[in-house]
Amino acid sequence: MKFGIVVNVLRENALVLARKLATWLEERKVDYVFEALSAEKLNIELSAPIEELSKQCDAFISLGGDGTLLFTSHYAVTKPVIGVNVGFLGFLTEFTQAEMFTAIERMLNGTNTIHTRSQLEATVTIDNEMRHFRALNDVVIEKGAYPRIPTFIIKLDGELLSSYRADGIIIATSTGSTAYSMSAGGPIIAPKSSVFVITPICPHMLTVRPIVISDEKVIEVSVDAPDGSFPLNCDGNLKKMLTSQESITVKKSSVVINLVANESRNYSEILRTKLLWGREHNFGQ
């Protein structure tokens, strides 16, 4: 088995852990290759461009936070990814630094468990060509620098759902429900639930609420405004500036992401730990 390793090079503790990992793999004669930028920062010769790693490797190791894991998953495609958390609040990176080597050993022994996660696929026209972008967490259309409040028109399977006057619209998977959608007031959805959640950002009507829909629905979004351009982001990466009245389509992708599961923890424990549920708070004392 050969591992592709992606490191958040902006975190010194991730670089330290990466050096330990390389030594550990070499001692056990396990093949590995670092993503090119990570290898350059670590002064390691075994490297390949991130676009080539999936062709060379059987599995991936992500050293960073959820952002690093999201970045890795886009290039890992269907290959399993071990997410090691060297950041702070993280829901996707299930393994701590101390748990990393055990997770790799289980992968080498074939005793690991995989969690399959659905993705979104956003389709938009760029230069008269249909382009498709995948997102594990969310697809977001925002008002950006537009000085007024635009109206976001949403259709489900071709039928009008509603017109939202808001700062933006988040379409999230169950995996992404604990990311931007949650911070905008959306519900937490258990992983692998066959649903999407549509969450308005700062809606300008008190009656507007997030809505949970089947992931079999096809969502169409357009921005009703006299002018302006509006950022389309997939997992936080800008893909296009949409024009007024331009429509994008979002649906369930046929490509899934395979995350290596931490069998010593469950999702309920992760929520309690990350969100401090069940703890006493002594405010003002």
Measured between alpha carbons, how far is 32 from 214 in angstroms, rounded to an integer?
Answer: 40
Give per-residue pLDDT as tens, 58-95. Answer: 999 999 999 999 999 999 988 999 999 997 767 888 89
Q: From the candidates 58, 66, 157, 167, which is the catalytic residue?
A: 66
Q: In what order do the strands lie in the sheet with 151-156?
A: 129-135, 120-126, 247-252, 219-224, 151-156, 159-165
Average pLDDT, the chain: 92
Closest CA to 84 of 62, 111, 101: 62
For residue 283, name the pLDDT band (cuts at 50, 70, 90).
very low
Whether residue 285 has pLDDT greater than 50: no
Q: What is the pTM of this model?
A: 0.89
What is the secondary structure of 233-252 as a DSSP string? EETTEEEEEEETT-EEEEEE
Share of the chain above pLDDT 90, in %: 81
Residue 139, CA atoms < 13 Å, CB-side half-sphere: 26
Residue 191: its pLDDT value, please? 84
Q: Which of 65-69, 135-139, 206-210, 242-246 has the lowest mean pLDDT?
A: 206-210
**Are 46 and 7 spatial neighbours (Cβ–Cβ below 8 Å)?**
no
Residue pointed to by tokens 């952002």:
67
Closest CA to 42 of 87, 70, 12, 77: 12
Query: Quick check: is 66 catalytic?
Result: yes
Contact 42, 15 (CB under 8 A): yes
Residues 6+ away with beta carbon under 8 Å from 167: 142, 143, 149, 201, 202
pLDDT value at 121 more than 50: yes
Beta bridge partners of 48: 35
User: Could you give the domains of the chain?
Assistant: 2-117+256-275 (3.40.50.10330), 120-252 (2.60.200.30)
How deeply is 249 buried, as exposed, middle or buried, from its count of CB atoms within 10 A (0-12, 13-18, 19+)? Answer: middle
